[in-house]
Chain A
Amino acid sequence: MKRFSVSPPVAALILAIVLFLLSGFLPNSYGSNVDIAIAQATNIVRLAVFLGVIAAGQTLVIISGSEGIDLSAGSVVTLTAILTYVYVSGENDRVLIALLISLGVGAVIGMLNGIGVTFLKVSPFVMTLGMSGVVTGAIIVVNHGTVSGRIAPIMTRLIARPVSPSIPIPGAVVIWLIFGVLMWLLLERTAFGKNLFAIGVNRVTAKLSGVNVTWTNLATYSLAGALAGFGGFLLVGNTGVVHIQLGQPFLFPSIAAVAVGGTLLSGGKGSYWGTMAGAIVLTLITSLLTTMQMPDSVRRMVLGGTLLILISIYGRQRSLRL
């Protein structure tokens, strides 16, 4: 009794394409001009990159189960963006070290989250929410609300500009694709990935099958922090400016992107392809509504509604198949 079913990442991607094609009929949109349509599509994907990368760590902690979530992702993004901005100060040869600093600082914050969750048994929600507050506070203390710095030209070149004049694909999108392949490798082709799914489903089974649950959990939170740190690095490379609220607006969309991508919020099942598709859908809807000059209130309602509808459809599919 095989019934027709589409996997959530594919469903989200189809939704994105349909929405985009429909948007052609909207006023202020690309109409029948194919070149503008492609340019717009490219731009939306480019904008989705930053959400997608920030949501990568979120995907990992959500897969790890036991109410796993990372509410500190937004503030880590802000922090590493500011660190990169200040440290690089326009020098190309400082970029690599800035990247390492971003990853490292993110990893340390993530590890603290992991220690709290694993050893102190604080719930991930509370632990990462608290960490978010601490990090935000630390940013304010260190910078006294103002920062001086500048990003390096090479960052703009690699992240914000097209790969080459003849290939109009932004560098960020290429980075994202490579990043996606690496995430897939991590989740599907390493023992760590397999163990991560295992602890997300059932930690007793995992332990009795030889999985080091404690270490896997700790590594997951650390990695999630590092990925958020990478997100901050990328983001500042695109925006070129920083402010204290840079990362925070990405926090809830990052969770939404994971859910739209079909990753179970209870853990143990999901994919990064799904999260990528989810990031594109959310970015697309936001930019469509902006194009339609909808007020912020309507944007929020539509986003929330989409999320509810998609997730309830996923839930239904699962219950039918079992």
Chain B
Amino acid sequence: MPESLSARNIVKRYGGVVALSDGNLDVHTGEVVALIGANGSGKSTMSKVINGVVVLDGGQLLLDNNPVHWSSPQAAKNLGIATVFQELSLIPQMTVAENIWLTREPMTAIGTVNRKVLHEKTEELLSLFRGTYKVDLHPDDPIVSLPSDEKQIIEILKAISFDPWLIILDEATASLDSRQVQRLFELVEDWKEAGKAIIFVSHRMEEIFRIADRYSVLRNGKTVGAGDMKDVSEKELVKLMIEKESVFEYIRKDSKNGENEEKPVCLEVKELQTVTLKGINFSVREGELVGIGGLRGQGQRELLHSLFGDVPYSGTVKLFGNGYKFKHPREAMQIGLALVPGDRGREGLLSIRSILDNLQLPSWPRYGFPLRIKKAKRDAEQVGESLNLKMAGLEEPVSSLSGGNAQKVVLGKWLVRKPKLFLLDDPTKGVDVGTKAEIYSLLTQLCDEGKTILFYSSDDEELIGLCDRVLVLHDGIIRTELSGPSLTKENLISASLGVSNGFHPESRTGGTL
């Protein structure tokens, strides 16, 4: 069994995007190393380099100080490196036992699967978490019938079944409840004693301090700090994660906070609950640009989609002074809402249809029968011009556009309708710098015209640079509201990670409620 693994000066590029420029990590048997960083700092890429899922473009991996190279994820697995994936790698139609032992099924003498041994070995693994299951788990339960926390446990057990010496826990606790996390941590202690090494990737500061012995901080693809947990405080870690000089060029108009005070409330949300949201309260005034912050997957998407009538929820939503409960996005559109979804290709565009069809999709019923195509074209043309949309013609397929221009189409199809409240789900994701700047000025221009914008971004700088206020979501609730002088990157990241010190307690429940 190896005793240590080191990553030295790792470089990894995806196309033109540099995910890691100088990643470093050391891990030894008998210890837990926490891999920490903000959104997009390269944590996931780092784990994928270590477990051989991606091929590195530069740098070196050392196993017991000897260079190694993984030709495939299987090669890393064979040398005892197992990963608990964040995106579940289980096959839904197969049973618990089949999933855990896939490709390594115990065989009988005649070459069939030995179900008895399979059962016994699976039961043995399942007993590790016995007592934390909602309903008792059996080896023959199909994965599809399990809740997400139990799927995550199976994922953990699958990794353990390889009997690895190094275990990478990539956000493994995100969907577990506190009892399950407790059990996992007990197991981690056992593994440490048994001479295993653990890399713990997590966003939860509290957990990092509970379990980790050492830390390694990534920022923008670089390792910027490492050391013993006992020598460091939460605040110091957060500081390491934040860039010193800001590259953000957008300058916010500071005078806006005051002048919106007299404007009427345009959106009021009370106790909004869904599967992931656990009671959201806030209100937004007309003309405000309110940001939604927090780590990915804390319920931001669901909040925007439920306001738009796409996801069922409980609670009350008041828009422009009236209560609504939309059953379909069409109803939300009709009173002046617009949603720019987070996944452009899957939720925002009709790839093979023309730019015209994409821009006018929500608005066709306005053009009568037979559709006044010429007028539709003129309107689309106008929106295209106002957005500086670069295209060969309205009849070209939208798939011929670059990412930035395609995003302009997704925005543009709402501008045709002149909505009053925009719900934006990470609208600058995967968009070039030039288009980003254009989107920023469009957003402020819309606010100046009296439109209201609710804006989620995975880019903290954007939130700070653009928004009047930022609501930080964590674990399905608004953990903190930041505005004015408290809207700093440090506060934003601390709040995202669920660190609660350093804020005024009165701002902890969101909004003007």
Contacts and interface: CB of A to CB of B under 8 A. Distances in A.
Interface of A: 185, 188-191, 194-195, 197-198, 201-202, 204-212, 264, 268-269, 322
B349 A212 contact: no
A188 B354 CA distance: 13
B351 A190 contact: no
Nearest to A318: B352
A204 B361 contact: no
A238 B362 CA distance: 43
A110 to B, nearest CB: 22
B328 interface: yes
Contacts of B369: 189-191
A212 B310 CA distance: 12
Contacts of A188: 371
Contacts of A208: 308, 310, 329, 339, 341, 347-348
15 contacts: A189-B369, A189-B370, A189-B373, A190-B369, A190-B371, A191-B367, A197-B350, A198-B361, A205-B347, A205-B348, A207-B310, A207-B328, A208-B347, A209-B361, A211-B361
Contacts of A210: 328-330, 333, 361-362
Of residues B339, B357, B364, which shows the largest number of chain A Cβ atoms within 10 Å of its Cβ? B364
B399 A198 contact: no
B357 A209 contact: no
Contacts of B308: 208
Given A207-B310, A208-B308, 17 more contacts: A189-B373, A190-B370, A190-B371, A194-B364, A194-B371, A205-B348, A205-B349, A207-B329, A208-B339, A209-B361, A209-B362, A209-B413, A210-B361, A211-B330, A212-B328, A264-B352, A322-B400
Contacts of A211: 330, 361
A185 B329 CA distance: 27
B347 to A, nearest CB: 5
B134 interface: no
B353 interface: yes
B329 A269 contact: no
Given A212-B328, A268-B350, A194 B370 contact: no
Contact of A205 (B328, B350, B365): B350
B360 interface: yes
A197 B364 CA distance: 12
B346 interface: yes
Interface string B318-337: 00000000001110010000
Of residues A190, A202, A208, A210, which shows the largest number of chain B Cβ atoms within 10 Å of its Cβ? A210
B135 to A, nearest CB: 26
Contacts of B349: 202, 205
Contacts of B362: 209-210
B329 A201 contact: no
Contacts of B400: 322
A322 B399 CA distance: 8
B263 to A, nearest CB: 27
B371 A212 contact: no
Contact of B353 (A201, A204, A212): A201
Contacts of A197: 350, 353, 357
A195 B361 CA distance: 7
A204 B371 CA distance: 24
Contacts of A206: 350, 361
B408 to A, nearest CB: 16
B267 to A, nearest CB: 19
Nearest to B367: A191
A206 B352 CA distance: 13
Contacts of B370: 185, 189-190
B352 A204 contact: no
Contacts of B339: 208
A207 B309 CA distance: 10
Given A190-B371, A207-B329, A202 B351 contact: yes
Contact of A201 (B330, B350, B367, B371): B350
A188 B310 CA distance: 28
A206 B357 CA distance: 11
A204 B346 CA distance: 7
Contacts of A202: 346, 349-351
A269 B397 CA distance: 11
A198 B329 CA distance: 15
Nearest to B346: A204
B312 to A, nearest CB: 14
B329 A194 contact: no
